[in-house]
Chains A and B, each alone.
Chain A
Amino acid sequence: MASASGRQLRAMLRKDIVMELRTKEMIMSMGLYSLLTMVVYFVALSQAGSNFDPRDIAAGLLWLAFIFTSMLGLNRSLVHEKDQGCLEALLLSPVDRPVIFFAKAGGNLIFLLAVEALTLPVFGFLFLQGTHLDWGSIALLPLILIVGSIGMAGVGTLLATMSVNTSGKDFVLAMLFIPLMYPLLLGAVTATGGAIVGGAQGVSVFWTGMGWVVGYDVIMLLASYGLYEFIVGA
């Protein structure tokens, strides 16, 4: 029984990755969206003068970009399923509903991480020129990106599965997603800020934030996993 689920999970993940590699639709749109956000950041900060330390706000700006990019990706990934009624085909097959959840969330996570991996260095290149970076603590960044993205992908997949069946679609997703993401965002920005600022204090702040995000992930993912089958059965 367990191996069947594993096989099905792998099949679904592989399908999503193959489709994405073929069309590059999601990665392209998410990646470009990210870059567009950078331009807007430049404009937004253009009046702030040069007195502020970009390291102070870098964390917030990064996660802002990630949150909105992830919403874009979540929406599209589920629209795919709904388009041709494919979700129904999946539900017809002898697969446990939670496996569908993990497959979709997993796929979304992979795409999100890919976009983040691209965005991070670009952001650094564009905005952190000339600042002193503690590379030891910067190396901690991937950790918080992964843990934060897991939360975003997990809860986001649940919410997007609902929102794709509404008449508001992306607006509804935003309305549901952002308030629920607030604790995760706060923890992630705190941790990211700590890592970027660096030093002993920065690192301790990083781990505090990490702790909270991990806690959030565990609780919310359990809840999402438990609630998912109610949504797909409806």
Chain B
Amino acid sequence: MIALVLGGVLTLGAFIGAFFWAGVPDFGFVRTAGQVDSVRYKGPFEQAIDEARYLANYAGYTVEVEADGESVRGELVSADAESVEIATGSGNVTIDAADFEAATVFGSEYGRPDWGQKIFYFHVPVAEISFVVFAFAAFYAIRFLMTRNRDYDTKNRVSMEVTLVFVGLTMATGILWTKAAWGVWWDWEPRLTTYFILTLLVIAYFVLRNSVEDEERRAVYGAVFSILAFIDVPISFFITRLIPSNHPVIEGGGLEGPMLISFILGQIGMIALGYAIYQLRMGEVQLQERIEQAKTLLER
């Protein structure tokens, strides 16, 4: 078990090392000769000013900005919360951020450093593992209901605890990534929303368990809810796609070289870490249970 923890931590360490090694500034957005990115002022819930400021990332790029019904194209000199300055063929044009409506950014030779993308190495594995462990929890729940063997209940509970940990990590890194990539802390798009529901479901599981006195009933209720929750998550995901989402989804292209290796290392590291956490907690819980059993047996 110690080996597992070490393995998990080591791999995670290697992954962090690779992370910095692979931090080639070149990675960013899919670059084409045409449009690289577009930003659009969306309506009552978005601030035009924020979008204008977002453009600051693209200083030096060719941009076409729409403001106040007109269109200006040129090289972006600067952009901030107050104004956007563009160097056109006929001199520099300053646009008031409050008039800003939309901008399109065009390709260029040099890459755009995207530090926010680093979170992705951590966030994706963590999210994946959270689903995997959640699936295990549901599996143990089914086994428990079939056999009424207390061990399965313990496995179910510990799996859910590990799920909670990973869900928390995923939400935290997800929120950070959302801010870095899209400029807002939160958005009700399919993945985030479904994940939020998952978070609530995992918390609900523990609320339910903690509110039931009787041990066996607690186990049965927990198992039943695990199963219902597990069924609910995919349904939630697909249904959320119903709402028309007008958010631009900016995706990275393929991964190569050091980035790919880091990513794979990260995946493996996270799996090992997840397993290690599970085993650790399981050991702890089993010890607790043995103590309780000893107590019970002594009472007889």
Contact = CB atoms under 8 A, between A and B. Distances in A.
Q: Do A and B interact directly, with beta carbons closer than 8 Å?
A: yes
A216 B239 contact: yes
A178 interface: yes
B151 interface: no
Most buried by B among A176, A216, A219, A224: A176
B10 interface: no
Interface string B191-217: 000000100110110011001111011
A124 interface: no
Given A175-B204, A223-B227, A183 B239 contact: yes
Interface in A167-214: 167-168, 171-172, 175-176, 178-180, 182-183, 186-187, 190, 208-209, 212
A111 B276 CA distance: 50
Interface string B234-268: 01101110110000000000000000000000000
B257 to A, nearest CB: 41
A216 B203 contact: no
B242 A176 contact: no
A165 interface: yes
Contacts of A175: 200, 203-204, 207-208
B224 interface: yes
A168 B212 CA distance: 9
A57 interface: no
Interface residues of B, number: 31
Nearest to B223: A230
B217 A234 contact: yes
Contacts of B229: 179-180
A168 B200 CA distance: 17
A176 B227 CA distance: 12
A220 interface: yes
A178 B145 CA distance: 24
Interface residues of A, number: 34
B211 A166 contact: yes
B232 interface: yes
A187 B168 CA distance: 27
B225 to A, nearest CB: 7
Contact of A179 (B204, B212, B214, B231): B204
B36 interface: no
Given A182-B197, A182-B236, 4 more contacts: A162-B225, A183-B235, A212-B238, A220-B235
Interface of A: 155, 158, 162-163, 165-168, 171-172, 175-176, 178-180, 182-183, 186-187, 190, 208-209, 212, 215-216, 219-220, 223-224, 227, 230-231, 233-234
Interface of B: 145, 197, 200-201, 203-204, 207-208, 211-214, 216-217, 220-221, 223-225, 227-229, 231-232, 235-236, 238-240, 242-243
A-B pairs with lowest CB-CB distance, top 7: A166-B211, A179-B200, A183-B239, A168-B211, A234-B220, A234-B217, A175-B204
27 contacts: A155-B228, A162-B224, A163-B208, A165-B212, A167-B212, A167-B213, A168-B211, A171-B207, A172-B208, A179-B200, A179-B232, A182-B236, A183-B240, A186-B240, A186-B242, A209-B242, A212-B239, A215-B235, A219-B235, A220-B231, A220-B232, A227-B224, A227-B227, A227-B228, A230-B145, A231-B220, A234-B220
